[in-house]
Copies of this chain bind each other. A is one copy, B any other.
Amino acid sequence: MKRTTIADVAAAADVSVATVSRVLNGGLVKEQTATRVWDAVTSLDYTPNALTRSIFAGRSSTIGVVIDDLTSPFYLDLMRGIDEVAAANDSLVMFANTFHRADREVAHVQTMDEQRVRGLIVTSGESTDERTRRMAVAGTPCVIVARAVPDPPPGLHSVTLDNLAAGRTMAEHLLSCGHRSVGVLSAGTRPSQLHRAEGLRAGLAEAGVPLPEDAVVTAAANAEVDEAIGVLLGRRPSPDAIVCLAGRRTLAVHTALSSRALTFPGDIGFLTMDDFAWGPALGITVIAQPSYQMGKRAAEVIVDNPDRPVQLTFAPQLIARSSCGEQH
């Protein structure tokens, strides 16, 4: 099945391919000729090949996105922000999910490079850093989301949350709700998790509330959350609030607490990261990331392609609902 090409259109309109190209892209053409060409385009149902256009332009118009896990509400809103900017710039989004597998991360970034994407947005781990660095140097702007990059070359940008501030905001809210003994669940050892814990500890310390090392437990997967919560609840003094440092663990933590028949704020306080659709219905207080905005800005950096590395930091926002109790 051979598709109609510009040559077919040229033959049908009895002009050269150059003239057809000029009609399509707005060159200097007599109106009468242009009409003939448009007639041929319509009757042959000609759709120009964007790939060929791109190879001539040196790169395609699509924006590449390599993402950890679409399931997380943070990433979902991020995608919507990216898509918004892409649509406004006649770009498409080329998308690949890594499911936290390092081998897929590297393979997908490589494939995006081969596709000569206009720019690349990466939310995955450090395994891709070397490759994105080379891509940036070679002229493809890259934006790392949710992680700052040390000593970035021109073309390598980053978009992050102020995680230290997020931790401090958590501390403020917990204190104002009267909590004095906090148990923390972290999703891993990435810098974002560490900084949130650090900010939380600093904020609590200013009010004289300690956060011992062993009051922070790590669950690297949702399946580990229940046991981790068990450990936290078994500590003495018994925690009066549970803090979850990652939005993708919210459901698992909620389930672990519910299965122990604990309700909030009555039995225990519950504070977590990232707003989500069911948050209002469940009355869960969260520290929200402006994820839609972060996606938009990341895509805008790709489109603008600034000379100097851009490092954008966004402020976290407390959305106080009922799960931590009343503020005083």
Contacts and interface: CB of A to CB of B under 8 A. Distances in A.
Interface in A23-55: 45, 47-52, 54-55
A139 B281 contact: no
A251 B281 CA distance: 8
Nearest to A1: B139
Interface string A275-289: 001101110000000
Contacts of A92: 94-96, 108, 111-112, 115
A321 interface: no
A76 B71 contact: yes
A223 interface: no
A203 B281 CA distance: 32
A95 B95 CA distance: 6
Interface string A102-119: 001000101111111000
Contact of A76 (B76, B108, B112): B76
A144 to B, nearest CB: 19
Interface of A: 1, 3, 45, 47-52, 54-55, 58, 60, 62, 70-71, 76, 79-80, 83, 87, 90, 92-97, 104, 108, 110-116, 134, 138-139, 251, 254-255, 258, 277-278, 280-282
Given A70-B76, A278-B278, 20 more contacts: A3-B139, A45-B138, A48-B114, A49-B114, A50-B116, A51-B115, A52-B55, A70-B79, A70-B83, A71-B76, A79-B97, A83-B95, A83-B97, A87-B104, A92-B111, A94-B95, A251-B278, A251-B281, A254-B281, A281-B282
